Structure formats: structure tokens, C-alpha cells
Amino acid sequence: MARVLVGVKRVIDYAVKIRVKPDKTGVVTDGVKHSMNPFDEIAVEEAVRMKEKKIASELIAVSCGPAQSQETIRTALAMGIDRGIHVEISGAELNTLQPIHVSKILAKIAQDEKVDLVIVGKQAIDDDSNQTAQMTAAILDWPQAAFASKIERAGDELTVTREIDGGLEVIKVKSPAVVSADLRLNEPRYATLPNIMKAKKKPIKKVTAKDLGVDISPRIEIVSVADPPTRQAGAILPDVDALISKLKEGGHI
Amino acid sequence: MYCSGRTVFSSKLANQLFKRLQSTLVIAEHNNDVVSPVTRNTLTAAKQIGGEVCLLVAGESCGKAASEAAKLPGLAKVLVADSAHFKGFLPESLTALVLALQNQHKFSHILAPATAFGKGLLPRIAAKLDVSPVTDVIEIKGADTFVRTIYAGNAVLTLKSKDPVKILSVRGTSFAPIDGEGSATPEKAADGDYAAPKTTFVSQELSKSDRPELTSAKVVISGGRGMKSGDNFKLLYTLADKMGAAVGASRAAVDAGFVPNDLQVGQTGKIVAPELYIAVGISGAIQHLAGMKDSKTIVAINKDPEAPIFQVADYGLVADLFKAVPELTEKI
């Protein structure tokens, strides 16, 4: 039976319309609703299902971030993860924390905890990087299966269906491996109240990047964060004929 | 006068010297026979960085793709790695190859298109080189300064990379495809054992379609939840065929099983920027807008006048799509 490590990130809730700070250093995060990155919820759900199918023995959730990341870990625990590891990253460091840093942290924990499988979301909806799984796999020299929409485990082999540009692809990877979850992998469950209560008793270990021997010095300098160009308001047309004449005017037809 | 003239001269010289020091490897996306169009867009980005541009074509029996690649303009070299190891274009094998090439050529930049292929591969290479890659670049400001979007396209980040090697995936729709014809001689890339014993490619199931490819189509017609069923997508296919358009979909339409996943346009699907985007029965959630709001002209057909899609649409039609779409098809 496999031990599974799941990476979870606390991000601004997907439904929030973000605001860029006037000084162009970033986006406003204070007082804004945060929640678990949607792709990570899918990763957590998949791990929990593996335990329910008795193909996983212990599930560990890791989050790198400020103190509030513990809430994100609690959510994972309430969904069925066994224990958490919080890698505390302070405010200033958080701004330039990149997937390369997180991958090194995940890789170190994966080795320390002797896990057989690392599952993360395919991308975080804040930085939209889509890198962590691939980089974690590279650092560990493990095979990778990115953008998974189906995972089947038989012995030490995983058969993974991946979402690619033209359709779907099936690969087999030998565990230990790293998988990233696409939207279609599963439908994450809601944590029930009793499980939320139980999750409060589950342990969360707190460590720092330094404890793990990972250097998180910045690899990028943020030059600016700006609003995207806004589109000019358009016109509501009365009927299909008006639309056709506009399309003709624009040379589209 | 003398002074300012001199400054101009020396900065120009420095700039030329600087550009000469750059050398970029572009990893071509292809299916062994044909080079994918987005590779041309990636080459434009590579040209903007300056310096020599080499193109890597790695695959299994990829001779046809290699000779097509050799005709792309402005390439210093076309490196070809033809081996059974590259069956299925597994990142594990390709990373080993690119690392060997990097050792040999010391590229300053490594680029690939920001597709499922490029996004799967580049971060693996970057981690092996201990550098922080940059995803989905929309503008090259300099050899180390790049622009990309974050938060589903709702903010634009300009960043300066401090790493010695810059690894970038390029958003195809933000760069025009490179133009012209060249005549490079394909060269054999570094030989070696690039087997990936822990990963096996099993199969691929590609959706077949005669319509243009979604990310490079000039016109895209997308359907959302409002289409109500997969069968109703026929309305869009008919209109698309008449207009020579590609068909896309919102996540809601994909999740409801109306169309396959690879038609999804949005933050986590494909990013398109056609001349004309027609959104039919799509409300316009943030995540969908992320994938299409750079389209030149946006048309929305939706019966809900409050739908957020109307805030980005150049032309809106508040109408029942089941009446408006057939009427449009008939009159066009």
C-alpha cells in the first residue's frame, strides 16, 4: 500500500474578482476570501479515494505559505487526509516563492516521509504556472504524469490517462511517481461537520524551508503587476440581420 | 553633440554584442510528420530575444517533420534526434536529450510553445538545470524580462529572471507566426541513451475533426451550458462549417459531456485569440474569459441580458440561441 503526499495551496477564491494594488507590486490579498486551490481539492479527493479503495495507507498534506495555510491543511484533513505538514513562509518571501522552491520542499518531504506517490493540482489559479508536479518529479528523478484525468493503480504501476491538446493519452508510470490532477479527475467531496470536528484533532507539523535545507531566495524580480487592457464596451444589436451587417463591416464574412 | 553621439553608438554596439551572446533553443512541437503551427509563433518569440536560434526536432521516425523544420526561416541549426526513445514524446526522455544538448551548446534561452506538450516538458528541464521557468509568456521585453498573465488573465506580471538560463513557454496567440522560408541543414543531435525505463507510452486518442485547429483558427464559435445537449452542438458545427471556423466550448459544456475536454477554452483549457470569437450560450465566467478575451472581435449570443459575457462583447445579441443560430447560419 502506498503512502501519498498531497500538495495544497491557499489561493484567492476562484470566484473573486481580483484587484491590482495601485503601486503595481501585486494584487490585493488582505481581507479577500481565500480557499484551497481548486485543482488541489481534486488532488486531495483522489488521494482519499485511494485510501478508501485500500490502495493507499497514509495520506499527508503539505502546504507552503503563511500561518493561514494551516486552514487549507485543515480543509484537506477534513476531506480525509491523515496528517499535515505546514512549511511556514513569511509574507515577503511569499511574493517571490516560485514552483521551483515549492518543488524542492515537496521533494525533500517526499523523501523524508518515504512516500510512493505525490499528487498536486495541475496549476494554481493565482500564478497559473503549471510547473510544480513536473519540477518535483525532476528533482526526485521520478516519472511524471501531468494533467491526469484518470488514475488506476496495479502493484507498483500507475496507468494514467492524461488530458493533452488533441484529446487523451494513456501512459504507465512506475511508482514512486508524481501526478498532477486535471479538472476531470474527480468531483471533490464536501467536508461534513463531524469530519471538520475530527480534523481539528489531526496533527499538523510545522517546519520551515530552512529546517528542510531548501534555499528559497528569489529567482525572479517582480518588475510590475498591472491591470490587463480593458475592452471597449460594445453594442447590443437588435437582431440577427444587424449582427450580419456588423460582421460584414468587420470583414469577417 | 559628440558625447551624445558616442553614447548612442556605444549602446548600440553593446546591444549588438549582447544579442550575439544570446543563443536560443526552441523545442519544436510536431507529430513526427508535421510541425505544429504554434512552433512558428514560438520562433517569433525566440527571434525577439535576439542571437542564434536553434530548433530541436525530437521524435520517432520524425524525418518528415525534420525536413519541414529545416525550411523554417532564420534558423542557425536544426537539430534532429530520431530514436525510439522519443515515442510518445515523454518528458523523461526529452529532458535527458535537452540536458545533453545544453551541456554541448550552452544555450542562454530554451523555449517551447505553452501547450500541453511544452508545459509538461519545460518545467522538468528547468528543475534539472536548477532554474525557475516562466510559463505562458505573452511579451519579450528583453533577454531577461518577460511578461505573463496571472490570476486567469486578470493581472499582467512583468518579471525579471535572475537565473543564468531562461526557460520560457510561449503563448502562441501573443506572437505572430514566423514568416518566410529558410534552408537549414538538419544535423544529428547528441547521441545517447535517452530511455525512460519508468514511463511507458501506451496510447493516444485524438479527437478527429476536419475543422481548423482551435488555437490557430481565425474564427472560433464556442458553446456553453446554454446549448443544453451535445446534439444541439450540431447547430454550431453547421455554422462553423459555413464560416470555416473552429468549435470551442466552455467548461460547463465540457463537464456536462456535450463535447470532449480538448475543446475547452479558458484558464485551464486552451487560450485562443482569433479574429472573431462567437460565444453562444456562454455566461462568461472569469475562467472562460481568460481563454478568449484577447480575441479581436467578440460576439455574444445569450438570452440573459445580465450575462457577464456582454461586458467584453463587441456585439451582443440578446436572443434565444436556438432561433438566432439557425437564422445566422441561413443568412450568412
pLDDT at residue B264 greater than cutoff 90: yes
Which element (helix H / strand E) includes B324?
Answer: helix B321-331
Per-residue model confidence as pLDDT tens digits over A153-180 = 988 999 999 999 989 999 999 999 999 9
Q: Within the 41-60 window of chain A, which residues sit less than 8 Å (CB to CB) from chain B?
A: none
Cell numbers 532554474 correspond to B131
Residue in chain B closest to A216 (alpha carbons) equals B132
Cis peptide before A66 (omega within 30 of 0): no
Cβ distance of A12 and B219 shorter than 8 Å: no
B133 in contact with chain A, both atoms CB, cutoff 8 A: yes
In this prediction, residue A121 carries a pLDDT of 98
Beta bridge partners of A3: A58
Cell of A113: 516521509
ipTM summary value: 0.97
Question: What is the torsional sign of CA B65, B71, B74, B79?
Answer: positive
Q: Within the 89-128 window of chain A, which residues sit less than 8 Å (CB to CB) from chain B?
A: 98-100, 103, 122-123, 125-128
- Of residues B126, B152, B293, nearest to A135 (C-beta): B126
Provide the Cα torsion B175, B176, B181, B186; round to 10°: 30
pLDDT at residue A127 greater than cutoff 70: yes
The strand pair at B109-113 and B166-170 is best described as: parallel
Per-residue model confidence as pLDDT tens digits over B75-130 = 999 999 999 999 999 999 999 999 999 999 999 999 999 999 999 999 999 999 99
Per-residue model confidence as pLDDT tens digits over B20-33 = 578 999 999 999 99
In this prediction, residue B57 carries a pLDDT of 98
Reported as a pLDDT band with limits 50, 70 and 90, residue B55 is very high
Average pLDDT across chain A, whole number = 96
Cβ distance of A131 and B123 shorter than 8 Å: yes
Beta bridge partners of B277: B220, B298
In this prediction, residue B2 carries a pLDDT of 43
How far is residue B207 CA from its own chain's centroid? 18
- Amino acid at position A111, single letter: Q
Reported as a pLDDT band with limits 50, 70 and 90, residue B271 is very high
Per-residue model confidence as pLDDT tens digits over B240-249 = 999 999 999 9
In this prediction, residue B204 carries a pLDDT of 95
What is the C-alpha separation between A224 and A226, in angstroms, rounded? 6
Residue in chain B closest to A187 (alpha carbons) equals B255
What is the C-alpha separation between B220 and B300, in angstroms, rounded? 12
The 3-class secondary structure across chain A, one letter per residue, is CEEEEEECCEEECCCCCCCECCCCCCECCCCCCEEECHHHHHHHHHHHHHHHCCCEEEEEEEEEECCCHHHHHHHHHHHCCCEEEEEECCHHHHHCCCHHHHHHHHHHHHHHCCCCEEEEECCCCCCCCCCHHHHHHHHHCCCEEEEEEEEEEECCEEEEEEEECCEEEEEEEECCEEEEECHHHCCCCCCCHHHHHHHCCCCEEEEECCCCCCCCCCCEEEEEEECCCCCCCCEEECCHHHHHHHHHHCCCC
Give percent of chain B with pLDDT exceeding 90.
Answer: 91
Q: Within the 197-236 window of chain A, which residues sit less than 8 Å (CB to CB) from chain B?
A: 218-228, 231-236
Neighboring chain B residues of A235 at a CB cutoff of 8 Å: 314-316
Mean pLDDT, rounded, for B290-296: 96
Q: Within the 58-97 window of chain B, which residues sit less than 8 Å (CB to CB) from chain A?
A: 88, 90-92, 95
Cβ distance of A159 and B202 shorter than 8 Å: yes
Reported as a pLDDT band with limits 50, 70 and 90, residue B171 is very high
Cβ distance of B268 and A122 shorter than 8 Å: yes
Neighboring chain A residues of B152 at a CB cutoff of 8 Å: 125, 128
Higher pLDDT, A60 or B208: A60
Cβ distance of B286 and A253 shorter than 8 Å: no
- Of residues B88, B149, B276, nearest to A228 (C-beta): B149
Q: Within the 189-228 window of chain B, which residues sit less than 8 Å (CB to CB) from chain A?
A: 196-207, 215, 219
Average pLDDT across chain B, whole number = 94
In this prediction, residue B141 carries a pLDDT of 98
